[in-house]
Amino acid sequence: MTGIKPIVVGVDGSEAASAAVAWAARAAAALSLPLHIVTVVHIPAFYYTEPYLAESFKEELEDTAKARLGSARVHAKQTVDEPLDITTEQHEGKVSQTLIELSANAHMVVLGSRGHGEFTGLLVGSTTSAVAAHGHCPLVVVRGRTMDGQPPTEGPIVVGIDGSESSKAAVEVAFEQAAARGASLVAVNVWSDVSVQPSLGASPEDALWSSIQTGEEVVLSERLAGYQERYPDVTVERVVARDRPVRVLSEFAEKAQLIVVGSRGRGGFTGMLLGSTSNALLHTADCPVMIVRPES
């Protein structure tokens, strides 16, 4: 793939993958980007001990994959009114390695929250972690709160902000998403400090609490500087709160159409890629979650 980078979406025939295709199609239409639908045929090593069985099994998987890609293409076209530039591609090999390679020439990679077949356990397993850790573009894990399991299409874009480079990259992507979708942006800086606890008598009036709060407001302002001028049509709400990040972001997810976070952070976002905050959001958020890595 050359030229304009497409949005890449992985499919495996599951309902979650179908939701991912719908989300990716809308994103491609909003950003005026091509949509590249991929599936991976993975043949377990033990099948090769029986050549005839392996060949038959491979043909069956390839036929299934071809049908899967055709259905996904139709679903993508039916999801949006605008004409889409859609390509499909079938791969053989390891899922995570294939997606990481494709991410090098992708605007973003989109995956469903759950899968089956070769994408089994994608959300909590090694594939998502590998793509988030080693991918070359943002990763979106599509989750939905509607009755049919489809991702929400209304509400603000929420971005988690701190002083890290991952956070800086997340802000830029979040503004891009908000502008393309005609959505407002909620910029959230959540801080917590073990030295300031209500059980110890701390309150918003205490000097230490006030000092930290002021400092975090500065961090938020610094991270947003310049973007509101570049995206004048995006309405921005600033939120600075002393609480656990997962709690605050989960609350915003109940009304958001997308949460954008950096892959790693400091303070409340420390270890976000593999820590409790990111894991909680990927498991429980009521909207799609985008993980953005800083450019290397």
State pLDDT tens for residues 140-173: 999 877 666 678 899 999 998 877 777 888 999 9
- For residue 121, give both structure tokens: 């356990």
| pLDDT of 184 strictly over 50 | yes
| pLDDT of 118 strictly over 60 | no
Q: In degrees to the nearest 10, what's the CA dihedral of 243, 142, 40, 13?
A: 140
| pLDDT of 253 strictly over 90 | yes
Interval 19-34 mean pLDDT: 96
| pLDDT of 76 strictly over 80 | yes
Spatial CA neighbour of 238 closest among 259, 217, 214, 268: 217
Residue 91, pLDDT score: 93
pLDDT band with cut points at 50, 70 and 90 for residue 272: very low
| pLDDT of 185 strictly over 90 | yes
